[in-house]
Amino acid sequence: MLSGRRYLLDLSPGQEEMCEEFGDICRSVWNTALEQRREYRRRGAWMNYAPQCAELADAKREHPWLKAAPSHALQQTLKDLDRACPAYTSQRCSACGFVTEGNRESQAVFRCKAPGCGHRDHADVNAAKNIKAAGHAVSACGDLGTSRSAKQEPVSRATGRTPSQGNPRAAAQGGSQIPGRPTSTG
């Protein structure tokens, strides 16, 4: 029998700030990767974990703030997006996980074709169960319930600034792009 354990993570202020920065960077990677997948789909192409993971090294060279987060955390973000991405959720059986185009008999009817399964449901209900199971709770755009946008570049722990704050126009607007996080003066 499996047993679970619960732990309370007690972080120092520096560790807390680092975790927040890693989370901000991962959220930015998630939103960028999701937007890239949507753009590929609009053009009739397909993008998933493998090619996006291969692009991470180039992205780190182009955007130095990505280097602040461990590579494995960014790769895990892309894997999580693969699991939560709504593509094929209406063709995947919520009971056994079998995926085939034939599972979706019509716009409304889902019937699993996997041997020994035979699960039946409304196609949209089946897709909703798959999305819920995959943890599709992170908003891809818009507000995350905080005072800042989900697509905003994270503040660097090292400099206290976003990459765009090197821009004189950003500096003229008066400091930090993220409310409540002061920028350093040098």
Cβ(80)–Cβ(135) below 8 Å? yes
Counting the structural domains of the chain, the total is 2
The model's pLDDT over 105-145, given as tens digits with 9 standing for 90+, comes to 888 899 999 999 999 999 889 988 887 876 644 444 333 44
Claim to verify: residue 22 and residue 78 sit in the same structural domain: yes
The type of residue at 140 is: A
Structural domain includes residue 162: no
Distance CA 132, CA 144 (A): 18
Instruction: Give the three-state DSSP class for 64.
Output: helix
The model's pLDDT over 139-180, given as tens digits with 9 standing for 90+, comes to 443 334 444 444 455 555 555 555 555 444 434 444 333 333
Domain, as residue range, for 67: 16-85
Claim to verify: residue 58 and residue 102 sit in the same structural domain: no
Structural domain includes residue 103: yes
- Among 66, 85, 104, the domain boundary falls at 85
Cβ(147)–Cβ(117) below 8 Å? no
Q: Which helix (H) or strand (E) holds 59?
A: helix 49-62
Structural domain includes residue 46: yes
Quote the pTM value: 0.52
Structural domain includes residue 27: yes
Claim to verify: residue 34 and residue 81 sit in the same structural domain: yes
pLDDT band at 31 (very low <50, low <70, confident <90, very high): very high
